[in-house]
Structure 1
Amino acid sequence: MDLQILPLAVTMMAGPQIVAAVILVTTPRPVRVSLAFLLGVAIATTAGVTITLGIFALLGQVVAPGSPSERGSAGTVVQLVLVALLVFAAVKAYVRRETAEPPKWLGSLMEAGAWKAFTVGLLVILVMPSDIVVMLTVGASLEQHGGGVAAALPFIGLTVLIAALPLLVYLLAGERGRRAMPRVREWLTSHSWVVTIATCLLFIVLILT
């Protein structure tokens, strides 16, 4: 796999995805629901990459992104469109920051059981537009380099590891970490616009580099 794809794993969990992971470690059964969430993330990421790889394998050179150095290549056009959309989303989030509220489904996670956490883990990957774009990028890269799903395992593993960071902090940081997580949850949910802007800027940097 092209190592330049690996940083995109950060984008996979940036936004409501990581907020959901933080919320789950503040529930009455943090370990159980967090592990269910991670299982959902792992399955969804693997399935998404497999599907996108299959799409590009079927379409072949019809949708080949082309070399970034080729002026006017399809890949360059897609990159420019994505950057423009992300800039628009970041500006929109900043302008509406005073009235910004986190998605209502995030609040419902405080009462989540293992099944709901698992379902959320699936959906935060499979229905998030940014994650769909990332998985399409990974699928295209795998097809270009002649790699199969096995070649995407580092990307999938890094995505799951990032999703597991709140749980790892909860388990390894002791009582101090456990006391800190509710404060982190409250800050993230009350500053959702900051998370959105940071996600957009991160994605822009990864695209352009």
Structure 2
Amino acid sequence: MISGPQIISSIFLSTSERWRANSTAYVFGSTLSISLVVVVAYLLGNSVGGSGGGLLGASARQLLYVVVLVLLLYAAVETYRKRTVSEPPEWMGELTSAEPQFSFRLGFLLLGFFPTNIITSISVGTYLAANGAPVTDAAGFVLLTLFILALPLLGVFVLGERAETVLPEIRDWMNDNSWIISEAVIALFIVLTLQNLFG
């Protein structure tokens, strides 16, 4: 959820001119979009084939798992295919002078609707629906994602001026290696989906 432009944007914003307001707006926008996608996926999964109350029962749950598995495999292939593209997008250069409104929109769109993120959030929502779990069980996933996303901001609070040298080094490492982290997370979701499909 946070590897790639997501965490890199967080690092840029935490070293921007209005770092407190920008980072807070970015995390808040992310909170809304991740929660929205998970809840919508959960509701759709519940109405189609969720445990107990679904319209189509067990066969629809199996179909739901297959759809999620296909989406995850697509995300894994796309992440691997684009692993050598390490140049950050041009809009990242504007983050050092960003306004909180821009940071909020960026967090909302980047965390909620970035292709691999939307697939991950849909996987979480449909997984909970298919297993008859309450949507509130997604809180751990959302909170952990947001905590990691807020680490650059927390780093500025803890490290002070030293963050100006440490965070760019972390940003460069993440930019070069984010595909590995993404693949590991996608692989975890693939394993969970296969367990549900065949378990």
Distance change >3 Å, CA 160–CA 64, structure 1 → 2: farther
The question of 1:38 aligning with 2:38 is answered no
Question: 1: distance between equivalents of 2:120 and 2:75?
Answer: 14
Aligned AA (1:146) = G
Question: 1: distance between equivalents of 2:131 and 2:187?
Answer: 23
Residue equivalent to 1:110:
96
Contact 1:23 1:110 in 2 (8 A): yes
Distance change >3 Å, CA 78–CA 52, structure 1 → 2: closer
TM-score by length of 1: 0.75
How far off is 1:81 after superposition?
A: 6.4
SS at match of 1:102: coil
Residue equivalent to 1:70:
none
How far off is 1:14 after superposition?
A: 1.7
Residue equivalent to 1:82:
72
The question of 1:119 aligning with 2:109 is answered no
* Count of aligned pairs: 185
Tell me the alpha carbon deviations over residues 29-54 of structure 1, each in whole angstroms, 9 at most, x when there is no partner. 11110001010011111111111111
How far off is 1:121 after superposition?
A: 0.6
Residue equivalent to 1:8:
none
Residue equivalent to 1:55:
44
Question: 1: distance between equivalents of 2:74 and 2:28?
Answer: 34
How far off is 1:115 after superposition?
A: 0.6
The question of 1:195 aligning with 2:178 is answered yes
Tell me the alpha carbon deviations over residues 165-194 of structure 1, each in whole angstroms, 9 at most, x when there is no partner. 1111111123323331233335555x3xx3
Q: Please tell me the root mean square deviation across aligned C-alpha atoms, in Å.
A: 2.6
Distance change >3 Å, CA 136–CA 81, structure 1 → 2: closer
Question: 2: distance between equivalents of 1:159 and 1:85?
Answer: 18
Contact 1:86 1:201 in 2 (8 A): no
Tell me the alpha carbon deviations over residues 93-120 of structure 1, each in whole angstroms, 9 at most, x when there is no partner. 35xx3x7522222222122111100000
- Percent sequence identity over aligned pairs: 29
Is there any run of 5+ residues in structure 1 with no aligned partner, and where?
A: 1-11, 67-72
TM-score by length of 2: 0.79
Larger relative contact order (CA 8 Å, sep ≥ 6): 1
Residue equivalent to 1:4:
none
How far off is 1:75 after superposition?
A: 2.8
